[in-house]
Amino acid sequence: MKDISRLFIPLAGVIVLLLAGCSDTSENQEEADADAGSTGSDETITLGYYSSGSADEKMEDIISQFEEEHPDITIETQNSPYQQFFQKLDTQIAGGNAPDVWLSDGVFVQKYAERGAAKDLTEWIDNDLETDEYYGLDFNKGPEGKYWAVPQGIQIGALFYNKDMFDKAGVEYPDDSWTWEDLKEAGAELTLDTNGNTAENAEFNAENINQYGLTFFNITEGWMPVLKSYGGGVLDEDLQTSVIDTPENLEAVEYMTDGMERGIFTDPSDLQAFQSPMSPFPSETAAMRIGIYARTLAANETGVNYDVTVLPKGPDGERFSPVIANSWIINEDTSDAKAEAAWEWIKYWVSEDDVQRQWAELGEAVPVKKSVANSDMFLNSGEKPENKQAFLDSFEFADTLDVNAVWSEWVDQMTDNLNKTFLNEVEEEEALESADKDVQQVLDEFYED
């Protein structure tokens, strides 16, 4: 072997061919798949979802049931924990190899829709689904009236309260007559400092609290329901203009800061002391919380004696319940045959009573199909909370969280500004003015192009 270059060149050539070969095979594969689809034979689709422990097994179960009933469709799954799932998904979309159908957090549906990654499902939904039979289809509509996704399960907000704490303080349980002011008054009696004084006591020390009246966090289970029931909000109907700087919002924010200053509500720095901002209620450090349906899981796990009711009214009787419809999205770039197979899966998921029931048993979400959600199986499952009806009643005044393509980014700006006033660093007016400016800048950057 005198001349090494003789070996070197072919070797390099082989490697290059190998690399080129990889991409060739996948293209051929896709062509073959497309051909197969057009002749009506077998179709393999990839399905992506974020996993959440016990739910994975159930998901696999339902998938194999689907495959049994649809022998011409094979489903390959891709799943990872929440954070990684969405990071990976974004890179997969960038690389053109995203799953054919995936489960999206409800607040990300518009992010994919407005950037052209989600397939428009309007026609299929109109043709194949009785829209009245389902909760939440409209929560995935864009401002232009198109459906971009179909709900997989619904998260809707209600007021959780710890019955033992109410009994101990001799306070009556909350009901649908409550306003936010009523909540604060009751909350004051339920807030205890380290010496056992309530927030109504003159010797109460708001710096050293053992038990909060209400725990309060971020947008969905924090400021948004309050802003909206006070008649305020963040974006106008076209979802491209900020309406933050209004007297209604000011009143709502003053209500919240007052509650935090008096120690009745948790402020952002109080929450830092907990392992998770979600833990005060299940760990019985707070008597009430604004919670979506999934929070029943943690509360049931720690065995809190609690129930739920609808969220309180604003000063003018307006009510608002936040809703997040985690949904199935079909990849815009997927072939027609695969998209149709994916649509079969979605239809199977929402319309089959049995599937809906199996999923509801996990207790993660309110079922999408109204008949199942209103059945005994969901409402009287024997698990807490007793008054699950409150979640269903809340649909009457439920809406999304002003979700648009840049939702995460404007929420970040809004939260930063609100936290400053929650922590008493700036006045309420100033925080709203500055939030208005920052949020509008985010919107302009995206929508002005």
Partner 1 sequence: MILVNTETVKTQRKTKKKKGPVLNHEGKWGLLMVTPYLLQFIIFIFFTLLASLYFSFSSYDMLNPPEWIGLENYNKLIQDPVFWQSLKNTIYFTVLFVPTQTILALILAVALNQSLKGLKLFRIAHFIPVISSWTVVLYVADAIFNPRFGLANDLLVKIGLQPQQWLNDEQQVIPVLVAVAVWKGVGYMMVIYLAGLQNVPEDLYESAEIEGAGVLKKFRHVTVPLISGTTFLVLVLSTITTFQAFEQIYVMTGNGGDITSAGGPDNASMVLMLYLFQQGFSFLKMGYASAIAWVLFLILFVITMIQVKLQKKWVHYEK
Query: Which residues lie near partner 1 (CB under 8 A)?
Result: 4-5, 7-8, 11-12, 15, 19, 83, 87, 90-91, 93-94, 111-112, 115-117, 218, 268-269, 271-273, 275-278, 406, 408-409, 411-412, 415-416, 419-420, 423, 425, 449
Q: CB nearer to partner 1: give 5 or 39.
A: 5
- Taking the C-alpha atoms of residue 105 and residue 100, their distance in angstroms, rounded to an integer, is 16
Q: CB nearer to partner 1: give 394 or 417.
A: 417
> Alpha helix locations (H) across 292-404?
295-302, 336-351, 353-361, 370-373, 376-379, 389-393
Minimum distance, C-beta of residue 192 to partner 1, in the bound complex (Å)? 14
**Token reading at 211:** 């038990």
Minimum distance, C-beta of residue 293 to partner 1, in the bound complex (Å)? 18
Minimum distance, C-beta of residue 387 to partner 1, in the bound complex (Å)? 27
Can you tell me whether residue 418 is helix, strand or coil? Answer: helix
Q: CB nearer to partner 1: give 113 or 244.
A: 113
Can you tell me whether residue 124 is helix, strand or coil? Answer: helix
79 bridge partner residues: 49
- Taking the C-alpha atoms of residue 415 and residue 405, their distance in angstroms, rounded to an integer, is 17
Q: What are phi and psi of 395, to 5 degrees?
A: -60, -25
- Cis status of the peptide bond prior to 315, with omega within 30 of 0: no
Q: CB nearer to partner 1: give 12 or 32.
A: 12
Nearest partner of 264 among 289, 282, 233, 235, judged by Cα:
289
Minimum distance, C-beta of residue 118 to partner 1, in the bound complex (Å)? 10
Minimum distance, C-beta of residue 15 to partner 1, in the bound complex (Å)? 6
> Alpha helix locations (H) across 39-116?
54-69, 82-95, 109-114
What is the amino acid identity at position 273? A
Minimum distance, C-beta of residue 279 to partner 1, in the bound complex (Å)? 9
Chain centroid, CA 312 distance in Å: 21
**Token reading at 1:** 């072997």
Minimum distance, C-beta of residue 337 to partner 1, in the bound complex (Å)? 23
Minimum distance, C-beta of residue 265 to partner 1, in the bound complex (Å)? 16
Task: Return all residues near 291 (Cβ < 8 A) that are at least 6 apart.
Answer: 157, 158, 159, 160, 221, 281, 299, 308
Q: CB nearer to partner 1: give 131 or 302.
A: 302
- Taking the C-alpha atoms of residue 220 and residue 320, their distance in angstroms, rounded to an integer, is 11
CB of 312 closer than 8 Å to CB of 183: yes
Q: CB nearer to partner 1: give 291 or 314.
A: 291
**Token reading at 340:** 């149709």
Q: CB nearer to partner 1: give 107 or 342.
A: 107
Q: CB nearer to partner 1: give 397 or 446.
A: 446
Minimum distance, C-beta of residue 68 to partner 1, in the bound complex (Å)? 35
Q: CB nearer to partner 1: give 37 or 142.
A: 142
Strands 306-309 and 286-292: unpaired
